[in-house]
């Protein structure tokens, strides 16, 4: 974290400031473990984290941290530990859990390369249908 703060944080701050001046919200994707710099990312202006493996952080822990920082999560059901199981009940349960834990700070997504992670489209559709079940006509929760 020290090197990131010294080398990259000023650059991220400048990038986010420029985006904010134009009214643009900044979403950051990470495949890596960035828990130790989440506070810094929020501080420089990242408003949403895009993780494909949110389970890496522990969903309860991540939801609490992002809520504390005023950030949201943009994610599919975990592509490493849950989606590839092909276990419909587990996938649907995890999708429900994500919406409930991150309620008000969650953007659901599909993973774009299902074949690359050994996931049948039907398995992804199970999660997608759960996410859609939370959509109301007047808003998305």
Q: Provide DSSP, 45-99.
A: TEEEEE-S-GGGG-HHHHHHHHHHHT-EEEE-S-TTTTGGG--HHHHHHHHHHHH
Residues 70 and 100: beta-carbon distance below 8 Å = no
Identify the helix (H) or strand (E) that includes residue 14. helix 9-21
Confidence at residue 101, expressed as pLDDT on a 0 to 100 scale: 97
Q: Is the pLDDT of residue 138 over 70?
A: no
Model confidence pLDDT, tens digit, residues 88-105: 999 999 999 999 999 989
Q: Please, which residues have CB within 8 angstroms of residue 52's CB and are 6 or more apart in sequence?
A: 31, 75, 76, 78, 79, 80, 111
What pLDDT score was predicted for residue 136? Answer: 72
* Tens-place pLDDT, residues 103-136: 989 999 999 999 999 999 999 999 999 999 988 7
**What is the Cα–Cα distance from 30 to 122, expressed in whole angstroms?**
26
- The CA radius of gyration of the chain, in Å to the nearest whole number, is 16
Q: What are 35-91's pLDDT values in tens digits?
A: 999 999 999 999 999 999 999 999 999 999 999 999 999 999 999 999 999 999 999
pLDDT tier for residue 139 given thresholds of 50, 70 and 90: low
Q: For residue 66, give the nearest of 12, 27, 21 by alpha carbon.
A: 27
């Amino acid at each position: 974290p020290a090197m990131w703060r010294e080398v990259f944080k000023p650059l991220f701050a400048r990038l986010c400031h420029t985006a904010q001046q134009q009214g643009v919200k900044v979403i950051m994707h990470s495949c890596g473990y960035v828990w130790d710099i989440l506070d810094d990312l929020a501080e420089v202006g990242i408003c949403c984290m895009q993780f494909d493996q949110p389970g890496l952080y522990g969903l309860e822990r991540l939801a609490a941290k992002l809520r504390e920082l005023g950030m949201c999560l943009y994610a599919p059901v975990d592509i490493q530990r849950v989606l590839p199981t092909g276990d419909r009940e587990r996938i649907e349960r995890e999708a429900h859990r994500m919406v409930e834990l991150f309620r008000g700070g969650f953007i659901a997504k599909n993973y774009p390369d299902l074949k690359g992670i050994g996931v049948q489209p039907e398995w992804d559709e199970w999660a997608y249908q759960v996410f859609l079940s939370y959509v109301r006509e007047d808003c998305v929760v």
